[in-house]
Amino acid sequence: MRVLVVEDDEETAQTVATGLRQARMAVDVATDGPGGLERALHNDYDVIVLDRDLPGMHGDIVCAELIGAGCRSRVLMLTAAATTEDLVDGLGLGADDYLPKPFDFPALVARIGALARRAHPIVPPVLRHGDLVVDTARRTASRGDRKLELAPKEFGVLELLLASDGRAVSAEELLERVWDEAADPFTNTVKVTISRLRTKLGDPQVIETVARRGYRI
pLDDT tens, position by position, 54-64: 999 999 899 98
Q: What domains can you pick out in the chain, each with its CATH number?
A: 2-116 (3.40.50.2300), 126-216 (1.10.10.10)
Does 117 score more than 80 pLDDT? no
The predicted structure's pLDDT at residue 85: 66
Decide: pTM greater than 0.75.
no
pLDDT of residue 208: 96
CA distances from 133 to 22, 118, 143, 158, 208 (A): 20, 19, 6, 10, 17
**pLDDT at residue 15 above 90?**
yes
Could you count the other beta carbons within 10 Å of the beta carbon of residue 103?
Answer: 13
Flag whether pLDDT at 88 surpasses 70: no
- The stretch 77-104 carries a mean pLDDT of 74
Catalogue the E-assigned strands of the chain.
2-6, 26-30, 47-51, 74-79, 97-100, 126-129, 132-135, 140-143, 146-147, 208-210, 214-216
**pLDDT in the model for residue 90:** 57
Residue 92 has pLDDT above 80, yes or no: no
Section 41-56 average pLDDT = 92
Q: What is the pLDDT of residues 165-215, one digit of tens each?
A: 899 999 988 988 888 777 777 778 999 999 999 999 999 999 999 998 999
- pLDDT for residue 83: 60
Q: What pLDDT shows up at residue 86?
A: 62
As a whole number, the mean pLDDT across the chain is 88
- Is the pLDDT at 80 greater than 80? The verdict is no
Predicted confidence at residue 176, as pLDDT, reads 84
The percentage of residues in the chain with a pLDDT greater than 90, rounded to a whole number, is: 57
- The radius of gyration computed from the CA coordinates of the chain, to the nearest angstrom, equals 18
pLDDT tens for residues 118-140? 765 566 789 999 999 999 878 89
